[in-house]
Structure 1
Amino acid sequence: MSGPAPARSNWAALAGFAAAAATTQLLWLTFAPITTDAAKHYRVSEGAIGWLANVFPLCYVVLAIPAGLVLDRWLRGGVLLGALLTAAGGGLRLAGDSFGWALAGQVLVAIGQPLVLNAITGVAARYLADDDRAKGIALGTASTFAGMVVAFALGTALPLRGLLVVNALLAATAVAGLAVALRRPPTYGAAPSAGGVSAFRATWNDRYLRRLALLVFVPFGTFTALTTWAEALLDPAGVSSTQAGVLLLLNIVAGVGGSALLPVAAARRGRQLHVMAAAVMVTAAGCALLALAPGFALALVVFPVIGFVLLPCLPMVLELTERAAVATASTAAGLIWLSGQLGALVITGAIGTSVHHPLPAFLALAAVTLLALPALRAVHAVSARRSPPPGIRPPDATRPARPRPPAAPHGGSSR
């Protein structure tokens, strides 16, 4: 007599999360494509408008770990709270037609963002079957980049006030959909973590997770620096602001596609480290080409290619993190996001010091990107020696359908 049928993945929960995650990015970048118009509307400087986006990485650095601890203890409540704060922030921006109200709304959204984005590994681990988790994390991460695309598209199509109204409606719809999607309790995964200092200590003391966090510092920082300074770096080559906008849009659209496809294929074959090594080298080569021969025609090829290969590094790292952190998946994801945000702040700031000198800036970006290769080898070295407790799948072990572990870049092999 056969046993009960295995539980199926709850894709509705993943879809609800994806909508909420996309909304956080939509509200984050609301003012990015209309910086000049927004500055005139609110009668402030363009630098002040920039702070409407800059509050997000600053809040993330402070709140990433606390948000992860909350999510490991109360996954459904935590992610719903994050979505509610996002929707409330979107509504608060409509309370008054001034910069102060816009900033207050952005701060509220920035506080909610870590509670949503850190939940990506937890939602996958608790609602999706083992073989579906790589796909779920890839799609969940791709949704965040899709939110960026929508932000740019709506920003160029709507007047400011109408844009804020549409954003608020989308955020409210997303939180309602998430609440419906999470009505069913989680089906899979370990018991909720007790949270607190012990959960953070267990995450931080894991050398493998620390190496993964170090790894994501570089590609996340490179991507952010490239998108932040693209217009300024390409301006001396005659690339207009409109053309730069097209390049950035193509870059993110390609990243959405790459994030949905490459991590799943890499996980199926256990080749995550090889794929990330290739992405690092392609990105470095692209930056070097832009240093030597900047121009719109070359950038039209380089930017989409970089987006397609570099952005998928994040979901691949998150998927390996979910494998390694059983009861503290969201805290571990918070560590990964924290490192990525720090990389964005540090690398973007460093490249910004030479933004008026494109040749050394692009070459420096290529050199910094190559620093991810030693980090990749460090990840492999730790994973090869990793000995998990009985009954816990190792971080570099594959699902039953993926019989090989992640291979080391440059021909290395895992034991």
Structure 2
Amino acid sequence: MGTVESAHIATRPPATRWAVVAVYAAALTASTATFLAYAAVAPRVGAAFGVSEAAVGNLALLSPLSLVLLGPVSGRLLDRRFETTLAVGAAMIAVGPLVRLVDPSSYGWALAGQVLLTSGTPFVANAITKYPARYFSAQERPTVIALLSASFYVGVLVAAIAGPPLYESGGISRLVAFHATIGVAAGTALLIMVAVVRVPAVVAEPGPAFVRGRLRRTRELWLLAGVISGLFGLFNAFIAWIETVEDHLGNAGFGGPLVIALTLGGVTGAITVPGLAAKRDARRTVLIAIGVVQVVGLLAIAATGSRVILLVLAVIVGFFMMAALPVAFEWSEIHAGTANAASATAFLSILGNLGGVAFVLAPQLVLDSPRSVFILLAALSIPGVLAAVRLPQTPTPHCVALANTAASNH
């Protein structure tokens, strides 16, 4: 049985710790933007590659696939050999976009670069709770995790906003060159920070609070995964189908602005809500409220045809929906302990991406009735609300959870 973790401040907080977070946030933003490089201009990119639009879309699907397949090993390695594992991930997200430059108009090179990039993503993204836990106190971590979570959504914005003008001004070569530049810059900066600068951790990291096999059997993590599934699923479904749905409703070209509105609201929510939830110890209440707003917001979107109202609703839904990610991640770090933080994050990412598949596949059944898509997504969001309701009032600290898990095995 693992020992109970009792993390403490090991050294005086270095002035460079915010630089560490800034570099890591830039890597999260760049990796997200680069794997979505083709998404905003998929039809034109497909023509340039000489492949179908679906084949271009499959390039973006490699990221959630990698998070599922490489999630367990990335979480385990980050918990055991943090700097080495993160350095490998940083190198991969730097080199992947560069590979696509060999022949920007080749689907084969695009696929090769995308495989390398997305294979490195889990080894970077799953450090989102462990990285802050090394440099910030428990009181500071909710804010830092929120800022890092928002960096994912900034990456989505970069891809959505920059893609069309880049392609129109310089074709696929300029698009690929832009993403190679930000990928190499951010990945290299993170690699230097981890492997060369090596800022010492502030918070001491003792032995794990859980034997990792038991970590996966804790009820709270499964409930958090249920909440996360709704978040991942709705966001992925919105990106995948909103253009098609709006086109069927006579609003051709309006899907892009709605995605931008959703993401802008999400960045704001991810930055502001989690800190307030932690400060007031209201994480469960916030997760329930987020789920309810998600359901009601989707039904409202289904009921209106006004573009202005749709944009407002997209901002509201995004604000609440994307705030759930950092709240759930911070909860998992409290529950699993610092030593197992990356494994807990990987667990949530795996189940979140798997559960979210239903959100992406289900709308195909009702595309002939486009407003029904939003009603269906609202219905699929209800289990996430129920999962939030079943969570304890406050996170169970890892020392208590360890005792409960041990007792249940006797």
The TM-score normalised by the length of structure 1 is 0.87
What's the offset of the Cα at 1:392? 8.9
Matches of 2:348 and 2:123 in 1, distance apart?
14
Aligned length: 386
Deviation sequence 1:258-286 (CA, Å, 0-9, x none):
11111111111111221222221112112
**Residue 4 to residue 51, structure 1, CA distance change in 2 (3 Å):** closer
Query: Could you tell me which amino acid in structure 2 is paired with residue 130 of structure 1?
Result: A
> In the alignment, which of 351, 373, 376 is matched to residue 385 of structure 2?
373
Contact 1:128 1:188 survives alignment (8 Å): yes
Query: Could you tell me which amino acid in structure 2 is paired with residue 336 of structure 1?
Result: L
Matches of 1:278 and 1:226 in 2, distance apart?
20
Partner in structure 2 of residue 162 of structure 1: 174
**Residue 172 to residue 276, structure 1, CA distance change in 2 (3 Å):** same
Q: Aligned to 1:39, what secondary structure does the other structure show?
A: helix
**Residue 104 to residue 193, structure 1, CA distance change in 2 (3 Å):** farther
> In the alignment, which of 356, 359, 369 is matched to residue 371 of structure 2?
359
Partner in structure 1 of residue 223 of structure 2: 211
Structure 2 unaligned regions, length at least 5? 1-8, 405-410
Correspondence 1:99 to 2:111: no
What's the offset of the Cα at 1:324? 1.1
Partner in structure 2 of residue 174 of structure 1: 186
Correspondence 1:308 to 2:319: yes
Moved more, 137-146 or 223-232: 223-232
Matches of 1:372 and 1:107 in 2, distance apart?
31
Partner in structure 1 of residue 408 of structure 2: none
Partner in structure 2 of residue 185 of structure 1: 200
**Residue 78 to residue 25, structure 1, CA distance change in 2 (3 Å):** same
What's the offset of the Cα at 1:189? 4.2
Matches of 2:34 and 2:122 in 1, distance apart?
14
Partner in structure 2 of residue 236 of structure 1: 248
Structural mapping, 1:35-50, within 5 Å:
35-50=42-57
Structural mapping, 1:250-261, within 5 Å:
250-261=261-272
Deviation sequence 1:133-166 (CA, Å, 0-9, x none):
0011000110111011111122122132112112
Matches of 1:178 and 1:138 in 2, distance apart?
19
Query: Could you tell me which amino acid in structure 1 is paired with residue 133 of structure 2?
Result: A
What's the offset of the Cα at 1:223? 2.2
Moved more, 90-99 or 224-233: 224-233
Query: Could you tell me which amino acid in structure 2 is paired with residue 11 of structure 1?
Result: W
Q: Aligned to 1:205, what secondary structure does the other structure show?
A: coil
Matches of 1:277 and 1:164 in 2, distance apart?
41
What's the offset of the Cα at 1:352? 2.5
Structural mapping, 1:266-345, within 5 Å:
266-326=277-337, 327-345=339-357
Partner in structure 2 of residue 7 of structure 1: 13
What's the offset of the Cα at 1:298? 2.4
Contact 1:74 1:192 survives alignment (8 Å): no
What's the offset of the Cα at 1:25? 0.4
Partner in structure 1 of residue 275 of structure 2: 264
Contact 1:125 1:189 survives alignment (8 Å): no
Query: Could you tell me which amino acid in structure 2 is paired with residue 205 of structure 1?
Result: R
**Residue 393 to residue 25, structure 1, CA distance change in 2 (3 Å):** farther
**Residue 38 to residue 184, structure 1, CA distance change in 2 (3 Å):** same
Query: Could you tell me which amino acid in structure 2 is paired with residue 35 of structure 1?
Result: A
Q: Aligned to 2:102, what secondary structure does the other structure show?
A: coil
Contact 2:94 2:117 survives alignment (8 Å): yes
Contact 1:322 1:329 survives alignment (8 Å): yes
Correspondence 1:133 to 2:141: yes
Query: Could you tell me which amino acid in structure 1 is paired with residue 351 of structure 2?
Result: S
> In the alignment, which of 94, 100, 113 is matched to residue 121 of structure 2?
113
**Residue 162 to residue 199, structure 1, CA distance change in 2 (3 Å):** farther
Correspondence 1:349 to 2:361: yes
Matches of 1:365 and 1:390 in 2, distance apart?
36
Partner in structure 1 of residue 3 of structure 2: none
Query: Could you tell me which amino acid in structure 1 is paired with residue 199 of structure 2?
Result: R
Contact 1:69 1:199 survives alignment (8 Å): no
Deviation sequence 1:75-101 (CA, Å, 0-9, x none):
122122112111111011111231000
Contact 1:87 1:109 survives alignment (8 Å): yes
**Residue 92 to residue 365, structure 1, CA distance change in 2 (3 Å):** same
Moved more, 10-19 or 139-148: 10-19
Matches of 2:222 and 2:260 in 1, distance apart?
32
Query: Could you tell me which amino acid in structure 2 is paired with residue 373 of structure 1?
Result: V
Matches of 1:32 and 1:362 in 2, distance apart?
22
Query: Could you tell me which amino acid in structure 2 is paired with residue 133 of structure 1?
Result: R
Deviation sequence 1:184-216 (CA, Å, 0-9, x none):
13221423769xxx8530320222222212221
Q: Aligned to 2:140, what secondary structure does the other structure show?
A: helix
What's the offset of the Cα at 1:388? 4.9
Matches of 1:75 and 1:152 in 2, distance apart?
32
> In the alignment, which of 59, 79, 84 is matched to residue 72 of structure 1?
79
**Residue 163 to residue 376, structure 1, CA distance change in 2 (3 Å):** same
